[in-house]
Chains A and B, each alone.
Chain A
Amino acid sequence: MRHGLVGLLLGAWALVLGSAASAVEVSYAVLRVDYPVLAPISRLERIPVDMGFAGAELANQDNQTTGRFLGHTYTLTTVSAAPDDAPAAIDALIEEGIQLIAVLARDEDFLALADRAGEEALIFNAGAGGSALRDDACRANVIHVTPSDAMRADAVAQFAMWKKWPRWFLVAGSNPADIELAEAYRRSARKFGAKIVEDRTFEDTGGSRRADTGHVLVQRQIPVFSQDAEDHDIVIAADASDVFAPYLPFHLWDPRPVLGAAGLRPVTMHPAHEAWGATQYQTRFEDLTGRRVREEDYDTWLALRVVSEAVTRTGVSDVPALRDYILSDDFELAAFKGVPVTVRPWNGQLRQPILLYDGRITASVSPQDGFLHQVSPLDTLGIDRPETACTAFAN
Chain B
Amino acid sequence: MRHLLLSTALLLAAGPALANKIFVSNEKGNTVTVIDSESWEVLTEFDAGNRPRGITISPDGTHLYVCASDDNLVRVFDTETYEELPSLPSGPDPELFVLHPSGNPLYIANEDDNLVTVTDVETRQVLAEVPVGVEPEGMGISPNAAFVVNTSETTNMAHFISTDDYQIKHNILVDQRPRYAQYTDDGTRLFVSSEIGGTVSVMDIAEDGTPTLATKISFEVPGVLPEWLQPVGVKVTKDGSRIFVALGPANRVAVIDGESLEVLDYILVGQRVWQLAFTPDEKYLLTTNGNSNDITVIDVAGEKALRSIPVGQQPWGVVVSPN
Indicate if the CB atoms of B133 and A69 lie closer than 8 Å: yes
Indicate if the CB atoms of A332 and B157 lie closer than 8 Å: no
Known: A5-B129, A66-B155, A284-B112. A16 touches B168 (CB 8 A): yes
Indicate if the CB atoms of B114 and A65 lie closer than 8 Å: yes
Which residue in chain B gives the minimum CB-CB distance to A12? Answer: B167
Indicate if the CB atoms of A277 and B176 lie closer than 8 Å: no
Which residues 234-283 of A sit at the B interface, judged by CB distance below 8 A?
277, 280, 283
Q: Is A1 an interface residue (CB 8 A)?
A: yes
Q: Is B111 an interface residue (CB 8 A)?
A: yes
Which residues 340-390 of A sit at the B interface, judged by CB distance below 8 A?
340, 376-377
Indicate if the CB atoms of A66 and B133 lie closer than 8 Å: yes
Bound: A16/B153 CA distance, A: 19
Which residues does chain A contribute within 8 Å of B157, judged by CB atoms?
A: 66, 69
Indicate if the CB atoms of A66 and B196 lie closer than 8 Å: no
Q: Is B227 an interface residue (CB 8 A)?
A: yes
Number of interface residues of B (CB under 8 A): 36
Indicate if the CB atoms of A283 and B112 lie closer than 8 Å: yes
Which residue in chain B gives the minimum CB-CB distance to A64? Answer: B134
Which residues 96-121 of B sit at the A interface, judged by CB distance below 8 A?
111-112, 114
Question: What distance in Å separates the Cβ of A316 from its nearest Cβ neighbour in chain B?
Answer: 15
Which residue in chain A gives the minimum CB-CB distance to B157? Answer: A69
Indicate if the CB atoms of B171 and A16 lie closer than 8 Å: yes
Bound: A16/B159 CA distance, A: 10
Q: Is A15 an interface residue (CB 8 A)?
A: yes
Which residues does chain A contribute within 8 Å of B114, judged by CB atoms?
A: 65
Bound: A69/B158 CA distance, A: 11
Indicate if the CB atoms of B111 and A313 lie closer than 8 Å: no
Indicate if the CB atoms of A11 and B112 lie closer than 8 Å: no
Known: A69-B133, A339-B227. A277 touches B153 (CB 8 A): yes
Which residue in chain B gives the minimum CB-CB distance to A63? Answer: B134
Our pick among B112, B133, B165, B225 for the contact of A280 (Cβ within 8 Å) is B112
Question: What distance in Å separates the Cβ of A286 from its nearest Cβ neighbour in chain B?
Answer: 10
Which residues does chain B contribute within 8 Å of A340, judged by CB atoms?
A: 176, 196-198, 227
Known: A8-B128, A9-B131, A287-B112. A66 touches B159 (CB 8 A): no
Bound: A334/B154 CA distance, A: 7
Which residue in chain A gives the minimum CB-CB distance to B69? Answer: A279
Which residue in chain A gives the minimum CB-CB distance to B227? Answer: A339
Q: Is A333 an interface residue (CB 8 A)?
A: yes
Bound: A29/B198 CA distance, A: 32
Question: What distance in Å separates the Cβ of A369 from its nearest Cβ neighbour in chain B?
Answer: 9
Bound: A70/B225 CA distance, A: 34
Indicate if the CB atoms of A334 and B153 lie closer than 8 Å: yes
B interface: dominant SS: loop
Q: Is A226 an interface residue (CB 8 A)?
A: no
Indicate if the CB atoms of B153 and A312 lie closer than 8 Å: no
Mask, A60-76, CB within 8 Å of B = 1, is 00100110011000000
Known: A284-B112, A332-B197, A338-B227. A15 touches B153 (CB 8 A): no
Indicate if the CB atoms of B167 and A11 lie closer than 8 Å: yes
Mask, B113-154, CB within 8 Å of A = 1, is 010000000000010111101110000000000000000111
Which residues does chain B contribute within 8 Å of A287, judged by CB atoms?
A: 112
Q: Is B177 an interface residue (CB 8 A)?
A: yes
Mask, B162-181, CB within 8 Å of A = 1, is 00011111010101110000
Question: What distance in Å separates the Cβ of A168 from its nearest Cβ neighbour in chain B?
Answer: 28
Which residues does chain B contribute within 8 Å of A15, judged by CB atoms?
A: 167-169
Our pick among B112, B133, B168, B196 for the contact of A65 (Cβ within 8 Å) is B133
Bound: A280/B177 CA distance, A: 13
Which residue in chain A gives the minimum CB-CB distance to B95? Answer: A280
Indicate if the CB atoms of B155 and A12 lie closer than 8 Å: no
Q: Is B294 an interface residue (CB 8 A)?
A: no
Q: Is B156 an interface residue (CB 8 A)?
A: yes
Indicate if the CB atoms of A333 and B166 lie closer than 8 Å: no
Indicate if the CB atoms of A312 and B156 lie closer than 8 Å: yes
Which residue in chain B gives the minimum CB-CB distance to A62? Answer: B134
Which residues does chain A contribute within 8 Å of B197, judged by CB atoms?
A: 332, 334, 340
Our pick among B129, B167, B171 for the contact of A69 (Cβ within 8 Å) is B171
Bound: A65/B227 CA distance, A: 28
Indicate if the CB atoms of A377 and B168 lie closer than 8 Å: no
Bound: A5/B133 CA distance, A: 17
Which residues does chain A contribute within 8 Å of B176, judged by CB atoms?
A: 332-334, 340
Which residues 211-230 of B sit at the A interface, judged by CB distance below 8 A?
225, 227
Indicate if the CB atoms of A280 and B135 lie closer than 8 Å: yes
Which residues does chain B contribute within 8 Å of A339, judged by CB atoms?
A: 196, 227
Which residues 1-53 of A sit at the B interface, judged by CB distance below 8 A?
1, 5, 8-9, 11-13, 15-16
Which residue in chain A gives the minimum CB-CB distance to B169? Answer: A15
Bound: A55/B271 CA distance, A: 33
Which residues does chain A contribute within 8 Å of B173, judged by CB atoms?
A: 312-313
Which residues does chain A contribute within 8 Å of B130, judged by CB atoms?
A: 9, 12
Indicate if the CB atoms of A280 and B111 lie closer than 8 Å: yes
Which residues does chain A contribute within 8 Å of B177, judged by CB atoms?
A: 277, 334
Which residues of A pack against B, CB within 8 Å?
Answer: 1, 5, 8-9, 11-13, 15-16, 62, 65-66, 69-70, 277, 280, 283-284, 287, 312-313, 332-334, 338-340, 376-377
| Other 4 A-B pairs with CB < 8 A, given A12-B130, A16-B168 | A1-B126, A13-B131, A277-B135, A333-B176
- Sorted nearest first, the 10 A-B pairs with minimum C-beta distance are A334-B196, A334-B176, A66-B155, A339-B227, A334-B177, A69-B171, A12-B167, A62-B134, A340-B196, A65-B134
What would 22 A/B residue contacts be, using CB atoms closer than 8 Å?
A5-B129, A8-B167, A9-B130, A11-B167, A12-B130, A12-B131, A65-B134, A66-B156, A69-B157, A277-B135, A280-B112, A284-B112, A287-B112, A332-B175, A332-B176, A334-B156, A334-B197, A338-B196, A339-B196, A339-B227, A377-B225, A377-B227
